[in-house]
């Protein structure tokens, strides 16, 4: 079997404190589903803004805390799972608790994606189907009804405004003024190519969240918490972030176009430029994350020197 795709994030510390899940806390969070109360449970990885608990062949996706913001994330995710089912392979939604208190999905037996042409091809086709599952007239953030409520004049304008906020807080200090200037100059130089129509953007489409479903023998897309109406190449940049074989990359491009996606001649470079927005975001953490920041700065330098 081919090597699996690199996931540098697996070696990073969490960007925010996560609650301790003891038995009493898990039972409290599982209150919407009395039938799960007395069964053994196990905490699962995944989700930056939520928690995952496995109970037998069921996964409970639970809010990170009791805030309205955490509950809205799960309401949006559940709505997305409803909307894209039939278009994109996603965990089967079994039941949703009221008011964003969580939802249940079927447990998936999976393995990591392998770094080969055939896997790249099916992942590319999966992404094209994902991006075509819901149409959006405006770029921006949508609510639990999947309507864009926070509109941007364009997807690129929204990203640039967000990135400037990150740079103004912590990111520019960590990356240095020279790097920040170079990044801004690249976005300026390629603005006309990057300013594209919005699609359904998963916004976390990386090997951490796209696995190989062993039962269905195909890709499975998890963790929709960051989804928005954004640029298509944003997701491709994430998938290819830490490097893949040329075979995987070529397979992804072929599968994507065969399934209806469109790639420009300069698509690979533009995908990296879109992922620079994520790199800037990683550097905006209040706490020091040495391994993360080292990896991110190396990735920024690779893009700047390409």
Which domains are seen in the chain, by residue range? Answer: 15-107 (3.30.200.20), 117-304 (3.90.1200.10)
Q: Which long-range CB contacts under 8 A does 163-172 form with residues at least 24 apart?
A: 163/277, 163/280, 163/281, 166/280, 166/281, 166/283, 166/284, 167/280, 167/284, 169/284, 170/283, 170/284, 170/285, 170/286, 171/280, 171/281, 171/283, 171/284
pLDDT at residue number 1: 65
> Per-residue pLDDT for the chain (306 aa), expressed as one digit of tens each?
689 998 899 889 877 777 788 999 999 999 999 999 999 999 998 778 889 999 999 999 999 888 999 999 999 999 999 999 999 999 999 999 999 999 999 999 999 999 999 999 999 999 999 999 999 999 999 999 999 999 999 999 999 999 999 999 999 999 999 999 999 999 999 999 999 999 999 999 999 999 999 999 999 999 999 999 999 999 999 999 999 999 999 999 999 999 999 999 999 999 999 999 999 999 999 999 999 999 999 999 999 999
User: Is the pTM above the cut of 0.85?
Assistant: yes
Contact present, 100 and 72 (Cβ < 8 Å): yes
pLDDT at residue number 225: 94
pLDDT at residue number 241: 97
């Amino acid at each position: 079997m081919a090597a699996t795709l690199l996931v540098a994030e697996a070696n990073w510390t969490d960007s925010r404190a996560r609650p301790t899940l003891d038995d009493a806390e898990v039972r409290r969070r599982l209150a919407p589903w009395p039938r799960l109360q007395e069964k053994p449970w196990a905490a699962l990885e995944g989700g930056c803004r939520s928690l995952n608990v496995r109970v037998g062949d069921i996964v409970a996706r639970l809010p990170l805390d009791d805030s309205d913001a955490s509950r809205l994330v799960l309401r949006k995710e559940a709505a997305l799972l409803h909307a894209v089912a039939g278009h994109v392979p996603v965990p089967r939604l079994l039941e949703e608790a009221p008011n964003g208190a969580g939802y249940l999905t079927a447990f998936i037996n999976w393995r990591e994606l392998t770094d080969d042409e055939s896997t790249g091809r099916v992942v590319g086709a999966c992404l094209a189907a994902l991006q075509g599952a819901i149409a959006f007239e405006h770029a921006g953030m949508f609510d639990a009804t999947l309507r864009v409520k926070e509109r941007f004049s364009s997807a690129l304008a929204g990203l640039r405004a967000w990135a400037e906020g990150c740079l103004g807080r912590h990111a520019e200090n960590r990356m240095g003024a020279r790097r920040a200037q170079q990044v801004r100059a690249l976005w300026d130089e390629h603005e006309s190519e990057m300013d594209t129509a919005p699609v359904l953007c998963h916004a976390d489409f990386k090997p951490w969240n796209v696995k190989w479903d062993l039962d269905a023998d195909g890709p499975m897309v998890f963790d929709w918490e960051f989804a928005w109406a954004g640029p298509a190449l944003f997701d491709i940049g994430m998938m290819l972030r830490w490097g893949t074989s040329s075979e995987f990359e070529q397979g992804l491009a072929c599968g994507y176009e065969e399934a209806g996606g469109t790639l420009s001649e300069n698509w690979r470079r533009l995908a990296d430029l879109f992922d620079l927005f994520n790199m800037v975001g990683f550097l905006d953490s209040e706490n020091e994350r040495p391994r993360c920041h080292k990896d991110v700065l190396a990735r920024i330098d690779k893009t700047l020197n390409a």
